[in-house]
Amino acid sequence: MIVELDSGRVRGRVADEHVLFQGIPYAAPPVGELRWRSPQPVEPWSHVRDATEPGCPCPQTAQSFAGVASENEDCLVLDVTAPRTPGRKPVLVWLHGGGGTNGAGALFDAHRLAVDEDVVVVTPNSRLGVFGFFGHPALPGGGAYGIEDQQAALRWVRRNIAAFGGDPDRVMLFGESYGGLSTTAHLVAPGSAGLLHRAAVQSGFPLMRPPAGTFGPFQPALDSMWMPTAELDQVGAQIAEELGWARPDDPDAADRLRRVPVTELLGVSSVFTRPAWGGAVLPVAPDEAVRAGRVADVPVLVGGTRDEARLFVALFYEEITEPAYGELLAEAFGPDADEVRARYPAADSPGLSWARVLSDGAWAASCWELMHALSAATTTFGYEFADRDAPPIVPFPPGFPPGAHHSAEVVYQFDLGEPAPLTDAQWRLAASMNRYWARFARTGDPGDAGLPDWPAFTPERPHVQSLHPDRIGPADFAADHRLDFWSRR
């Protein structure tokens, strides 16, 4: 199948019920002089471009939670999955997770969502880590190149998605984990206005103030998941000087930085994951903008998983002995450590207790705050993925139950290489979730006559929809996560 785009023609694959176009460039390769610049237009082509194979992932090193590795900066591509049915369809644009340093759009097979719900799904790449969020005094406007890439992908959707049967006036941006953080950025970014009409934030953490140890035993506490541009420039300048890339007073610093090998940059990629504010892309701190209600007037669906922190704690679970649990609490909560411990005693599993502390005090508490903040400004729907028997998305250590861990819901929405080993009841939940999400993309309300009612979240009626194979309905979110206790801290 050949489709005409504004940049040229592309040839995709045709299956029985859907079409798939992969590796379509939506911006020029950010290489050479275009490294650490805003995304530039694609150079048009005159031939029929092959779009039957995935494009290259953006530069990243393989991690325990993500086996993909790449050193190729020519990565600003996207995939389109569309059903083979007539009519103009809602468009769902997926921003993948991966901690801001890992992942690729092509890893998420969206044909089940597209075919079953008659929607068009777009899965883009965007620059990651040091390539997407580096800042330096010699690079004015830095710190949010990855957000700009996503804006370029959304503008591509607006110009081209009708060629695939998509409706450019019904675009839902949705993302999980770091993709959820990024989705929130577009709710406050001036350059994203008008490019999305619904948004879904899945296990995002835009309002989180993570205590020490939230993402690992050596991770410091943070006051915000966003970074001021001035602070980022200072960090970037210090690292660049320490590694011999460029001196702060070097008039050719920008050119020198753009010549640093990819492999060297990847060595510090994890330092640069917090999007910067104070520039043109994000003029104000997104967390403060959300708390003040300064967000786009589009319906938002927001939620998380029942046991978010277990994914992160699993990485060092065996190290969390009884003494180590006490040390983690002391580092994270200082003089309040004993009070937290009284609420979350170590019992026979200090590691599981630490995961409960973080799932409630960091993840659920910030999600609850986000639901309240968004609902004060726009129509908001809350949910919690609650299947504690969900198959783990990565191997977990023996003796540590994955529960409804961070990212567990993703295999219900997409196929990651192959269908997940779900039971019949879990497959029914997967179908219900995709129907809810598609209905939300179609109308701005996830309610569906064939599924349990899903009221909007309001401060007066803070409804959170529990998504479980045996029951879909209201969750007692605040009680389940002891939010009365955490709100007093």
Stated as kind and residue range, the H or E segment containing 412 is helix 410-413
Residue 386, helix vs strand vs coil: coil
Bridge partners (DSSP) listed for residue 49 = 10
Of 73, 148, 176, 308, which residue is the catalytic one?
308
Task: Give the amino acid at 467.
Answer: L
Contacts of 378 (CB under 8 A, 6+ apart): 295, 296, 297, 298, 299, 300
Q: What backbone torsions phi and psi does residue 472 show, to the nearest 5 degrees?
A: -115, 120
Q: What backbone torsions phi and psi does residue 398 show, to the nearest 5 degrees?
A: -60, 140
| Active-site annotation holds for 327 | no
Closest CA to 117 of 154, 172, 189, 192: 172
Residue 384, helix vs strand vs coil: strand
| Residue 272, token pair as written in the block | 């640069």
CA distance 27 to 38: 10
| Active-site annotation holds for 308 | yes
Contacts of 181 (CB under 8 A, 6+ apart): 100, 175, 204, 205, 206, 225, 275
Bridge partners (DSSP) listed for residue 50 = 11
CA distance 298 to 377: 9
| Active-site annotation holds for 177 | yes
| Residue 485, token pair as written in the block | 């206790």
How many CA atoms within 13 Å lie on the side-chain side of 182?
Answer: 35
Contact at 8 Å (CB) between 99 and 273? yes
Q: How many CB atoms lie within 10 A of CB 185?
A: 25
Of 406, 463, 468, 481, which residue is the catalytic one?
406
| Residue 228, token pair as written in the block | 């001021």
Contact at 8 Å (CB) between 187 and 215? no
Ramachandran sector of residue 360 (left: φ over 0; alpha: ψ -120 to 50; beta: rest): alpha
Contacts of 399 (CB under 8 A, 6+ apart): none
Of 7, 126, 177, 432, which residue is the catalytic one?
177
Residue 81, helix vs strand vs coil: strand
| Residue 392, token pair as written in the block | 């783990």
Active site residues: 177, 308, 406
